[in-house]
Amino acid sequence: MNALTRWHWLNLGLLGLVGGLATLVWFEPGRELPMEVPPLLELAPAQLKRIRVERPGQETLAFEQREEQWQMTAPGVGPANPVLINPILQLAVARCPVRYAAGEVDLKMLQLEPPRLRLWLNDREIRFGAAAPTDDRRYLLTASMVYLCPDRWYPLLSSSAAGFLVPIIESLKPNARSAD
């Protein structure tokens, strides 16, 4: 057998070894496929018709969907700003992989009992608790589960109520001086 033939056999052997290892990694015995993380609520944003936010020390916010438009009904009345309403609607389908059974954690320590803020999407309550000390996430309680979710909703929900109304552009207001 000449040197060229030996190299061909060596290359074929190495190719077989790489293929076997790749197959082993692909089908890794004993490994379970990760479960898909369920959404926070089983409600699509299109199913939401009412939003209410109870904020200790601040005014309660209330919104209703009327004729495909969101309207603020408390504390002010008028069209709601979609830039601020849409993220709230997306909370229903948020996926927060870290979760615990409510009975297994100290709700008072996580500031979920009493909560820092309460949000109702239709009739489903979400309680907002403390922020996690290690990262930018917050504890949320829905029904019997505590989730650790990104903290993008609490600052929005605790902001000024006036910001939730569609801003009136000053240049579009009728000018009283132009009538002179």
What would the pLDDT profile of 125-160 be if each residue is shown by its tens digit?
999 999 998 888 999 999 899 999 999 999 999 999
Query: What is each CA distance from 133 to 40, 123, 139, in whole angstroms?
Result: 22, 30, 11
Position 180 pLDDT exceeds 50: no
Q: Which domain holds residue 108?
A: 45-160
Question: Residue 19 domain-assigned?
Answer: no
Is residue 61 assigned to a domain?
Answer: yes
Q: Which residue has the higher pLDDT, 18 or 179?
A: 18
CA distance 61 to 164: 9
Q: Does residue 124 belong to any structural domain of this protein?
A: yes
Q: Residue range 115-130: average pLDDT?
A: 97
> What confidence tens digit (pLDDT) does each residue in 32-84 have?
656 788 899 989 999 999 999 999 999 999 999 998 899 999 999 999 999 99
Q: What is the C-alpha to C-alpha distance for residues 165 and 122, in angstroms, rounded to an integer?
A: 20
Q: Compute the distance between CA of residue 152 and CA of residue 163 in angstroms, rounded to an integer.
A: 16
Mean pLDDT of 106-111: 96
Q: What is the mean pLDDT of the chain?
A: 88
Residue 14 domain flag: no
Provide the whole-model pTM.
0.74
Indicate whether 171 pLDDT > 70. no
Q: Is residue 32 part of a domain?
A: no
Interval 13-28 mean pLDDT: 78
Distance from C-alpha of 16 to C-alpha of 121, rounded to nearest angstrom: 57
Rounded distance between C-alpha atoms, residue 95 and residue 84, angstroms: 20
Please indicate, yes or no, if residue 18 is contained in any of the structural domains. Answer: no
Question: Residue 38 domain-assigned?
Answer: no
